[in-house]
Chain A
Amino acid sequence: MESVEVQQITLTDAWQALSEISDPEIPVLSLVDLKIIRDVRVEGATATVELTPTFLGCPALDYMKNEIREKLLALGFQTVNVELKLSPAWSTDLLGEEAREKLRVFGIAPPEKRAATLAESLKKPVVCPYCRSSETRLESSFGPTLCKQIYYCEHCRQSFERFKTL
C-alpha cells in the first residue's frame, strides 16, 4: 500500500499566499501591505488568520474573509479559521513607506501620520499624488469609499483621492 504523502505547509507559504490577495478597493495594496492581517498560525492542516478591519462599515470585509479562506484552502489546508480582532485598533500609521509609495503611484495621496487630535493630523498640506504640488484643497471630507476623502489640486487642476488618517 502506498503511503499518503502529507505535505507540510509552512507559515511562510501561508503568508506568501496571503500577500497575493489584493484589497478589493485599492488593488495596488495587498492585505499584508495594509497590515490588516495581524497573525497567522499553522497547526497541522489548520490555519488560523487574525484579521483586523480598517473601517468597521467596510463592505469588503466579508469578501476579504472569503478570499483568505479560499486562498489557504487552495494551498492545501483542510480548515481555515478567520478571526476578527478589533484591538489594538488598526491605524493608517501602520502603513509602511513602500505601501505609501504604491498609493501615490496609484493616484491616491497617502494618509498623514496621526497627531494628538484628528484636526491636528489633518492640518498639514496634502501633496498631490500626480504633480507633488502642495497647492491643494479639501473638496469633500467623504469619498467614494469609507477610507477616502476628495481633494483638488490647484496646480495640475485635477481631483484626487486621499486615504483618510485613522
Chain B
Amino acid sequence: MALEVPAGIPKEALQRLLVALADDELILGHRDSEWTGHAPILEEDIAFSNIAQDEIGHALVWYTINEQLGGKSPDWMGFERDWKQFTCCHFTAFPKGDFGYTVLRQYLFDVAEQVRLKNLASSSFTPMKEAAEKILLEEGYHLMHSQSLVERLGNATEESHKRMQAAAEIAFPQALGMFEVLTGEEDLVNAGAFSGNTVLKTEWVEIVAPVLASASLRIPVEKENGEITLNAKPDEGGRKGWQKEHLKRLVHDMQTVYKMSPGGSW
C-alpha cells in the first residue's frame, strides 16, 4: 500500500524522521532484550523483556510507514542495512552497562517518547498521527515503571543512590542527543509534521528535571526566571549516521541469524 505525502511536507525529511524514530526504538529494544535472563530480579527480567518487545513492535510501525513512502522494507532496514546507515541517537546504542544506567536510560527515553508522541499525535501527516496515538497508549506502562524505579533507587540506599547518580552523570549528556536536529527539520516544522526537536527538548527537560530532583539525583540543569540552561555537551551525531563501535557490534549480533539465510522464514 503506497502512501501519498500531503503537499507541503518534504518527503525526504519526513522519511528521515520516521527512520530516526524507528532506529531509536529498534536499537534500545535490542539493548533492553539483553537483560532477558540477566536482570537482578525476575520481575525486572520480565519487565525489560516486555519493554524490548514493545519497542521493537513500535519500530516496525515506523519502518512500515517509511516503506509505504517508498523506503526499504522493515526487514531490510533491520537486517540488511549497514551499521553506518543507522540514524539512532548514540544514547540508545550504548552498552547496557550497570542496571542503574539501564533504568535511568529507560526513564529518560520514556519521557522523550511521551513528549515526541504527544507532539506527533497532532501531526499534519495522518499516518504518523495515528501511529503516535496508538503507541502512546502502550508507552504509558513503560514510563510508570521506569519512573517508579528511578524514584525508588535514587532514594533507597547509599549504594543505590551512588550508582544512580553515576548513571545520571553519564546518561544526561547522552540523552540530549535524542533531540539532535535533523537535516531538513525546519521544513517539517513549517509543514506542521511536528514541532521540532528544540521544542521537544525543552518540554523533556521540564519534565525530567523535577523527577530526578525528587529522586535526589543531580543533573547539570539550571533554571532562572523561567530560562533553562543546560551545562552539558549533547552527545550528537547519530542522526547523521556518525555511529560508534558499540553499534557496529550490536548490529552485527542482530543481523547474524538473518544473514545465515537472507529472506528465510520459519
Contact = CB atoms under 8 A, between A and B. Distances in A.
B50 interface: yes
Interface in A96-134: 118-119
B208 interface: no
A59 B50 CA distance: 11
Q: Secondary structure at chain A's binding surface: helix, strand, loop or mixed? A: loop
A39 to B, nearest CB: 16
Given A87-B133, A91-B137, A142-B51, A57 B58 contact: yes
Contacts of B50: 142-143, 146
A55 B55 CA distance: 11
A40 interface: no
A112 B241 CA distance: 44
A74 interface: no
Contact of B57 (A56, A139, A166): A56
B130 A56 contact: no
A57 B54 contact: yes
Contacts of B46: 140, 142-144
A57 B46 CA distance: 15
A142 B140 CA distance: 12
Interface in B19-75: 43, 46-47, 49-51, 53-58, 60-61
A86 B47 contact: no
Contact of B144 (A59, A139, A141, A166): A141
B133 A57 contact: no
Contacts of B53: 57, 59, 146
Contacts of A83: 1
Contact of A56 (B43, B54, B141, B144): B54
A149 to B, nearest CB: 8
Given A56-B58, A57-B54, A86-B61, A142 B134 contact: no
B47 A55 contact: no
B119 to A, nearest CB: 17
Contacts of A57: 53-58, 60, 138
Contacts of A166: 137-138
B163 interface: no
B145 interface: yes
Interface residues of A, number: 23
B131 interface: yes
A58 interface: yes
Residues of B in contact with A, size category: 20 to 34
A71 interface: no
A140 B43 contact: yes
A86 B130 CA distance: 7
A141 B56 CA distance: 19
Nearest to B148: A141
B241 to A, nearest CB: 26
Given A56-B60, A57-B53, A119-B144, A142 B47 contact: yes
Interface in B223-262: none
A89 B54 CA distance: 16
A87 B130 contact: yes
Interface in B126-146: 130-131, 133-135, 137-138, 140-141, 144-145
Contact of A142 (B55, B56, B141): B141
A56 B134 contact: yes
Contacts of B1: 83
Interface string B103-143: 00000000000000000000000000011011101101100
A113 B56 CA distance: 27
A137 interface: no
Contacts of A139: 43
27 contacts: A55-B54, A56-B57, A56-B58, A56-B61, A56-B134, A56-B135, A57-B53, A57-B54, A57-B60, A58-B57, A59-B53, A86-B61, A86-B130, A86-B134, A87-B133, A89-B130, A118-B141, A118-B144, A139-B43, A141-B141, A142-B141, A143-B50, A144-B46, A146-B50, A146-B54, A166-B137, A166-B138
